Amino acid sequence: MTEDALAYVQQRGLGRLAEKMGIEIIEFSVERSVARMPVEGNTQPADLLHGGAYVVLGESLGSMSANLYAGEGRLAVGIEINASHTRSATSGYVTGVCTPIHLGRTLTTHEIAVTDDQGRRCSTIRITNLIKDL
């Protein structure tokens, strides 16, 4: 994390939902952002990580990364998100790695690959954000 990116995350925060879910930023830059989230406390009745929890992790990373890219005086807002879940996490943590697919003047698209503690991909999330002037 660069000092500027770290200050950005600390100033802005991750939002109340992400904080309730235990999401922690590990690395944060325009080129790559990483966060992790515990499985415990974020499961569905079958004790599997809830599909919506994967999406919250992905949207948190993708939106924060888009807003860092947008810069001061601009705001990135999500306009589309999708997820494909390919494996179930049942314990430990999942880790999301967010990388840009497209960084334009008014649109960004990021892919977030979410893996379990064994490095197996559990979900792939793609988010597109619209960048607006404030």
> Which are the catalytic amino acids?
59
d(CA 126, CA 120): 18
The answer to whether 69 and 107 have CB atoms below 8 angstroms apart is no
- Contacts with 72 (C-beta within 8 Å, 6 or more apart), sequence order: none
φ, ψ dihedrals at 24, nearest 5°:
-125, 130
Beginning with the edge strand found earlier in the chain, give each strand of the sheet holding 74-85 in spatial order. Answer: 24-28, 33-38, 93-103, 107-115, 121-133, 74-85
